[in-house]
Amino acid sequence: MKKVSLYGMGFFVVFMGIFMANTFELMGANLWEPRDFYNARSSAYLMNSTNYESEFEDGYFNRPIIPSPTIKKGELLSLFIPYSKMMDTKLGKFCDDFSPADSLSRYERRKQTSSYNLDCTNRFFTIVLSEDDTLESDFLFYNHPKNDQAGLQGYFRLPDSISTGKQVLGVYRPAVDEADAKRDSTGRLKIYEAEIPFWIE
């Protein structure tokens, strides 16, 4: 009986160990980093491959992406923000209700609603270059050709005065509910926010 109980306990411990490892992996947390001077949890100092389209293999984009870690000086910088279902909840709390006049045609109503939604989305996101320059956004709805994922696509002209070398593109948004405020208070990036390092050749 003791032997069976011991096997059972051993099996349970192994199971829980694997379960916890899987759960943390799903949460995107690596709690067992054995390297003392290496930290993969600090967004501003981490080059996350999921932020670059050139590194993308398959599946869904989870965070804002730019084409590659390097761009040529004078080129427009492309930014794609995936639009997951949860963004409806966040935008719903940020944008005012809008309903176009009933007298308008269906086409015109749809056009006005889309225009309002895009305008609100552009106000929702703030795009900042290396903590200094706020870039004016002009996102459009876009189905990404790599995986047909719905999202927002914008192109940004970088200032002429920008120097070559490392820059950081910040994608920020306001806190719209309790969960956001709680996360904001800890100094962590909220959902859809990102700080993407890239290099200008």
The answer to whether the CB of 66 falls within 8 A of the CB of 53 is: yes
Number of helices and strands in the chain (H, E): 4, 8
Enter the tokens of residue 172: 């920020």
Strands 70-71 vs 194-200: parallel, antiparallel or unpaired: parallel
Three-state DSSP class for 172? strand
Contacts of residue 47, defined as CB under 8 A and 6 or more positions apart, other chains included, come to 69, 197
Q: Which of 82, 154, 170, 197 binds other proteins (CB under 8 A)?
A: 82
* Footprint of other proteins on 12-31 (CB under 8 A): 14-15, 18-19, 22-23, 26-27
- Using CB under 8 A, pick the residue from 84, 126, 130, 153 that binds other proteins: 84
| CB of 176 vs other proteins, minimal distance in Å | 11
Q: How far is the CB of 56 from other proteins (least distance, A)?
A: 13
| Helices (H), ranges, the chain | 2-26, 86-94, 106-124, 178-185
Minimum separation from the CB atom of position 170 to other proteins (A)? 21
Task: Establish if 86 lies at the interface with other proteins (CB under 8 A).
Answer: yes
Least Cβ distance, residue 151 to other proteins (angstroms): 10
Residues binding other proteins (CB under 8 A): 1, 4-5, 14-15, 18-19, 22-23, 26-27, 59-60, 62, 82, 84-86, 88-89, 149, 179, 191
